[in-house]
Amino acid sequence: MNPPQRIVVIGATSAIAHQCGRLWAQQGPCDFLLVGRDAQRAASLAADLCTRGASVTARTAELRFDDVGAIAVLARDAVAAGPVDIVLIAHGSLPDQSACQDDLYAVQDALRVNALSPALIAEAFIGPMQQARHGRLCLIGSVAGDRGRKSNYIYGAAKGLVDRYAQGLQHRLALAGSPVRVTLAKPGPTDTPMTAHLKQSGARLASAEAVARSIVKAIATGQPVVYAPGKWALIMLVIRHLPRFVFNKLDI
């Protein structure tokens, strides 16, 4: 029997991360470290994953995503028993744009959770992975990071930072000749608790299961960027290249 994959999932209780975990558990032996802010929910997820496949083990850890010291300790402890195979950084929140425009603290919180902490966590893990010359790391960004729009530019700015960070990390590894691979996943609007208000307003949302399948496949193949569903690659290509005088007439 092959040794279990050692998988660290940050923001493990997110719907997309949960579905990714289920897919990995079905593929073969796995040893999960599930990290979140809610220990009880993470424990429930661990129990679920352990029923999904043979030889699946899961432990949990709590983390304040803005605690730099705790992030460093988490990464150090995670690799202490040996190199990790996969790190998935999936946590985030969808802020209310109008609320952010009236509350600087809401802006600060949105940028900290969606931009700063993913970069800090990735940076804490990528050093040991590069040293071990092993592993794959995936950051979940968003199509919102491709171009700033009035409807969600605070969230989009945060995801834009994640985008640029991932690009720089990929460049760093390429120049070093490292076999470690970094994937940036860019889901479109997805049916999760975070987007419940969009679903209520009639928005068409992709399923978390379908998005997770795309992400898991992209990580396995070392794909640098994956749009999920794939149609968003074309949609955002058009949006990114619209002339400013055209774009500024769109109420999006």
Phi, psi of 107, rounded to the nearest 5 degrees: -65, -45
- Please report whether residue 160 resides in a domain: yes
- Whether pLDDT at 121 is above 90: yes
Within a domain: residue 184?
Answer: yes
Residues spanned by the domain of 232: 5-247
Residue 38 above 80 pLDDT?
Answer: yes
Give the pLDDT confidence score for residue 202 in this predicted structure: 67
Q: What is the DSSP string of 16-34?
A: HHHHHHHHHHHHS-EEEEE
Give every CB contact of residue 220 below 8 A, 6+ residues apart in sequence.
136
230 lies in a domain? yes
186 has pLDDT over 80: yes
Query: What is the mean pLDDT of the segment spanning 172-189?
Result: 97
CATH number of the structural domain spanning residue 160: 3.40.50.720
> If you average pLDDT over every residue of the chain, what do you get?
94
What's residue 195's pLDDT? Answer: 74
Provide the pLDDT for residue 142.
97
Please, what is the end-to-end C-alpha distance for the chain in angstroms?
Answer: 52
- Check pLDDT > 70 for residue 199: no
Q: For 51-55, 87-91, 239-243, which range has the lowest pLDDT when averaged over its residues?
A: 51-55
Domain count along the chain: 1
Percent of the chain with pLDDT over 70: 96
The verdict on residue 76 lying in a domain is yes
Q: Please state which of the ranges 199-208, 212-221, 222-231 shows the lowest mean pLDDT.
A: 199-208
Picking from 1, 14, 2, 4, the residue whose alpha carbon sits closest to that of residue 56 is 4
CB atoms under 10 Å from CB of 201, counted, come to 8
pLDDT of residue 30: 96
Decide if pLDDT at 1 tops 70.
no
pLDDT at 251 over 70: yes
* Model confidence band, residue 178 (pLDDT cutoffs 50, 70, 90): very high
Alpha-carbon gap, residue 90 to 50, rounded angstroms: 20
Q: Decide if 121 is inside a domain.
A: yes
Mean pLDDT on 27-47: 93
- The reply to whether 252 falls in a domain is no
For residue 203, pLDDT over 80 is answered with: no
Q: How many CB atoms lie within 10 A of CB 246?
A: 8
Tell me: the pLDDT tens digits for 147-158? 999 999 999 999
Residue 53 has pLDDT above 90, yes or no: no
Determine the pLDDT at residue 14.
94
Tokens matching residue 100:
């952010």
Q: Name the band, by pLDDT with cuts 50, 70 and 90, for residue 193.
A: confident
